[in-house]
């Protein structure tokens, strides 16, 4: 079997690697010659420079990659196509859907499995892992995946895995930027919404647009939304059934009211699936924070909170519950200046120190300018390495609390691992 992967962003690269692992031959293409190929499984390839200024072809065993151009004949030879979710809704994507060539139309076993979708701005990954552990404690075989940004192997990997295994439940994390795409690819039986927050506004433009995307996504499906969620009346009109959920009331090791809501959503969905209260309660009692998500460590006198908080609502939910002496913030990509509004939130809570470090990109200068323009009067420090971050944590470890968050999941995981090791040794 041969597949074409069109677009080599996060999902495209994950699709290439997954298809190769499942024994497919792959033709991959991206019109951007400068696309980042890091993370692609491309061993021992030879590069044929067709035109070093405009196009590149990379040819290896079972894979051909064209950059700067697309070989239409190579696509026509393929049995299935995996396109970037960002292309969904465009003219090219519409033609592919009409021809039934999308991978989710060629491989359809996943559509016969009971499917749960979890979407929202914050808390998706934690909620997905809670549901997974509860269902597995109840004896179910659960296949988990979806949104590449959540640390999973992508939507196409989920389709490929479902096609080859025997599963009771498919559990999909759905990024809020890929709602229409996911609605087409999967047959959701139930969908849970964690929250609606201020992120990805470069795509949504407005909260109203985001809400409308959710309305389409929820159509004719059983949905779970927080009891006080904005737009619940709109969602109720679209969904076939709406079930409210509330903050979790039993023992939970995770910090924050936001995690009580995540646990409340996980509880509501699994109880609807007839999992006993005892199984839910015992599973969540032992549930640990997901890697890269907010966790707390003790360093000397300080509680050190570490986890990805890459949008203003995520950061505000933490700062509203705890006073921090120092806030460490990972900076966003150059083209994601909208995410700098996390600095607005940090300044509002006025910590003594704000430490900036490169999260997804080195945009420290832009972040410093933002802080100065906001009139922040505390101490601004910039660092460029993990060792420098650890040195400052040690310096502030006799204060009550320190927060390390912002952008850059991989960077924050590295920080989290180092902080954990230090905490365990003390």
**pLDDT for 50:** 47
290 belongs to a structural domain: no
Question: How confident is the model over 104-122, as pLDDT tens digits?
Answer: 999 999 999 999 999 999 9
Rounded Cα distance between 306 and 328, Å, is 9
Rounded Cα distance between 318 and 404, Å, is 11
374 belongs to a structural domain: yes
Q: Are residues 99 and 158 in the same domain?
A: no
Compute the radius of gyration of the chain from its Cα atoms: 22
Rounded Cα distance between 385 and 307, Å, is 17
Which of 76, 105, 134 is where one domain is finished? 105
The answer for residues whose C-beta is within 8 angstroms of residue 338's C-beta and 6 or more apart is 201, 202
Residue 339 in this model has a pLDDT that exceeds 50? yes
Q: Are residues 218 and 189 in the same domain?
A: yes
Which of 240, 264, 285 is where one domain is finished? 285
Q: Which domain holds residue 381?
A: 295-425
Domain count, the chain: 3
170 belongs to a structural domain: yes
Q: Are residues 100 and 113 in the same domain?
A: no
The token pair that represents 399 in the structure block? 């204060």
Rounded Cα distance between 423 and 296, Å, is 10
Q: Are residues 118 and 216 in the same domain?
A: yes
**pLDDT classification of 337: cutoffs 50, 70, 90:** confident
Rounded Cα distance between 178 and 182, Å, is 6
Question: How confident is the model over 229-273, as pLDDT tens digits?
Answer: 999 999 999 999 999 999 999 999 999 999 999 999 999 999 999
Q: What is the SS3 assignment for 133?
A: helix
Question: How confident is the model over 29-77, as pLDDT tens digits?
Answer: 998 888 888 878 665 544 554 455 678 888 888 999 998 988 989 999 9
261 belongs to a structural domain: yes
Rounded Cα distance between 263 and 280, Å, is 10
Q: Are residues 163 and 14 in the same domain?
A: no
Range 38-46, long-range pairs (CB < 8 A, 24+ positions): 39/13, 39/14, 40/8, 40/13, 40/16, 40/65, 41/16, 41/17
Neighbours of 123 (CB within 10 A): 25
Name the helix (H) or strand (E) containing 349.
helix 341-349
CATH code at position 18? 3.40.50.720
Q: Are residues 101 and 113 in the same domain?
A: no
Q: Say what percent of the chain tops pLDDT 70.
A: 95
Q: Are residues 98 and 247 in the same domain?
A: no
Rounded Cα distance between 145 and 35, Å, is 25
CATH code at position 420? 3.90.190.20
Q: Are residues 89 and 201 in the same domain?
A: no
CATH code at position 135? 3.40.1190.10
Query: Which has more confidence, 43 or 366?
Result: 366
Q: What's the predicted TM-score (pTM) here?
A: 0.92
Q: Are residues 84 and 230 in the same domain?
A: no
Averaged pLDDT, 4-9 = 92
Residue 332 in this model has a pLDDT that exceeds 90? yes
Q: Are residues 255 and 133 in the same domain?
A: yes
238 belongs to a structural domain: yes
Neighbours of 296 (CB within 10 A): 19
Q: Are residues 166 and 267 in the same domain?
A: yes
Which of 265, 285, 305 is where one domain is finished? 285
Average pLDDT, the chain: 92
Q: Are residues 280 and 299 in the same domain?
A: no
């Amino acid at each position: 079997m041969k597949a074409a992967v069109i677009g080599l962003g996060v999902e495209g690269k994950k699709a290439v690697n997954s298809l190769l692992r499942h024994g497919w031959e792959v033709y991959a293409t991206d019109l951007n010659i400068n696309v980042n190929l890091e993370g692609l499984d491309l061993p021992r390839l030879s590069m044929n420079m067709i035109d070093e200024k405009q196009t590149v072809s990379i040819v290896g065993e079972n894979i051909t990659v064209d950059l700067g151009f697309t070989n239409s004949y190579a696509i026509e030879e393929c049995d299935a196509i995996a396109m970037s979710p960002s292309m969904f809704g465009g003219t090219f994507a519409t033609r592919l859907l009409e021809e039934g060539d999308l991978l989710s139309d060629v491989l359809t076993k996943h559509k016969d499995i009971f499917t749960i979708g979890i979407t929202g701005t914050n808390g998706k990954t934690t909620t997905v892992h809670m549901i997974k552990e509860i269902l597995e404690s109840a004896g179910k075989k659960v296949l988990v995946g979806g949104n590449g940004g959540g640390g999973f192997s992508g939507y196409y990997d989920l389709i490929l895995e479902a096609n080859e295994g025997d599963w009771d439940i498919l559990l999909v994390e759905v990024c809020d930027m890929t709602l229409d795409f996911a609605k087409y690819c999967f047959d959701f039986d139930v969908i849970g919404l964690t929250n609606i927050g201020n992120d990805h506004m470069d795509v949504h433009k407005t909260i109203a647009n985001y809400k409308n995307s959710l309305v389409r996504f929820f159509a004719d499906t059983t949905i779970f939304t927080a009891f006080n969620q904005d737009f619940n009346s709109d969602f109720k009109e679209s969904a076939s059934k709406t079930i409210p959920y509330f903050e979790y009331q039993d023992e939970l090791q995770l910090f924050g009211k936001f995690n009580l809501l995540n646990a409340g959503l996980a509880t509501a969905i699994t109880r609807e699936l007839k999992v006993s209260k005892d199984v839910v309660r015992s599973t969540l009692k032992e549930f640990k924070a997901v890697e890269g998500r907010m966790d707390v460590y003790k360093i000397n006198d300080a509680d050190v909170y570490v986890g990805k908080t890459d949008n203003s609502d995520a950061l505000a939910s933490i700062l509203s519950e705890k006073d921090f002496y120092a806030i460490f913030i990972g900076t966003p990509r150059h083209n994601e200046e909208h995410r700098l509004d996390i600095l607005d939130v940090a300044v509002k809570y006025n910590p003594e120190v704000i430490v900036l470090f490169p999260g997804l990109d080195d945009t420290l200068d832009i972040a410093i300018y933002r802080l100065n323009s906001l009139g922040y009067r505390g101490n601004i420090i910039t660092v460029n390495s993990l060792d420098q971050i650890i040195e400052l944590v040690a310096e502030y470890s006799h204060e009550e609390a320190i927060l390390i968050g912002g952008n850059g999941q991989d960077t924050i995981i590295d920080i989290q691992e180092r902080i954990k090791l230090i905490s365990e040794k003390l």
